Amino acid sequence: MTETPSSPASVRVKSGARGALYVLLGTALFGINGSVAKVVIGAGVSPAQLTFFRVLSTAVIAGLVLLVSDRAQFRPSRRQLGNLAALGIGGLAMIQWLYAVAISILPVGVALLIEYTAVVLVALASWLIFNERVHPRLWFAIGAVLVGLAVVAQVWDSNLRLLGVVAAFGAAITYAFYFIMGERVVASMPPMAVAFWASVFASGFWGIFSAWWSLDPATLTANVSLSGALEAVVVPVWLPLLFVITLGAFAPFVLIFTALGHLSATAVGILASSEVLFAFIVAWAWLGEKLTPLQVAGAILVLLGIVVAQTARTRPEPAHPERPEDATLEVPPAVP
């Protein structure tokens, strides 16, 4: 018997609570990843090499998923390939490298806080470049982010190294490009396919420029202290590296992507901002990276601005109003 649209088997059951759980679990893994990556970099793996390992592992895992579930995605059009190359190199490759550079110099939470200002840049670019309407609350969001960042960075007496701040803001700019470009690419390809192809191009780029071949294999088998509160714990370098390329990269992406089947993209984006809080908490408890009470207030103000900016864009109606779930899928894969 043919199923009708109202048949239980043809209706996707959505759960807001389950979607929120997926997002929070994914962002928690992303938040932990920053501190783990800092240990790996401190053990002698360069930010560029770490980026290469991360994007390569994502390409391999996403490719295996597509091999089983949707082989048609291995045949994109030439135009799609051009867009995916720009997304992979100009977005994904540069975001992860700049973020890795930033956390090697700055406290993890501060670097991530600066990177997340990309949300505000996306809203501004949508207004200035693509003539999208934005809500007036965007200006409040910008003001809150700028004031909050000034407080966190303590611009009147800052001890933050300039290179780290520049790298973090560079990550924010490339993240904004990734989001804007990815939003358009995902309109014609599933996010899993976008993750695969963007990672392939990012892997090709860093395969050339990361000098991965110069990494002494002995570095990966050498023992390293987990530092901070876990200083007494000593493990081979490959173990935290394995966390970074699996639980710190692909697994959070899958969780956040799955959450889009239960929540709107805006709701997922707002919940995903909690990654900054997780990063601060983990870095404080593990690495001893602390903020003053005034800096904590500034971080809260930045997060408030980021959340407000998430709702400032006025999105166009989906092409198929009878399928509102389409709108929730028109976002690019998340980036740690």
Q: Which residues contact 175 (CB under 8 A, 6 or more apart)?
A: 91, 95, 115, 116, 118, 121, 335
Residues 139-167 have pLDDT tens digits of 888 888 888 888 887 766 667 788 999 99
Distance CA(322)–CA(240), nearest Å, equals 46
Give phi and psi for 225, each to the nearest 5. -75, 145
Q: Is residue 1 part of a domain?
A: no
User: What is the domain count for the chain?
Assistant: 1
Residues 235-244 have pLDDT tens digits of 999 999 999 9
- pLDDT confidence bin for 219, thresholds 50/70/90: very high
Q: Is residue 8 part of a domain?
A: no
Give phi and psi for 134, each to the nearest 5. -125, 155
Distance CA(2)–CA(103), nearest Å, equals 55
According to DSSP, residue 224 is labeled: E
pLDDT higher than 60, residue 11: no
- What is the per-residue pLDDT for 318? 47
Q: Is residue 92 part of a domain?
A: yes
Q: Is residue 241 part of a domain?
A: yes
pLDDT higher than 80, residue 101: yes
Tell me if 10 sits within 8 A of 3, measured CB to CB: yes
Q: Is residue 59 part of a domain?
A: yes
pLDDT higher than 70, residue 55: yes
Tell me if 271 sits within 8 A of 306, measured CB to CB: no
Distance CA(94)–CA(218), nearest Å, equals 27
* First-to-last C-alpha distance (Å) of the chain: 46
Tell me if 291 sits within 8 A of 153, measured CB to CB: no
Distance CA(2)–CA(326), nearest Å, equals 24
Q: Is residue 6 part of a domain?
A: no
pTM for the structure as a whole: 0.82
- Residue scoring higher pLDDT (333 or 235): 235
What is the extent of the structural domain holding 179? Answer: 15-212+220-329
What mean pLDDT, rounded, does the chain reach? Answer: 82
- Residue scoring higher pLDDT (129 or 198): 198
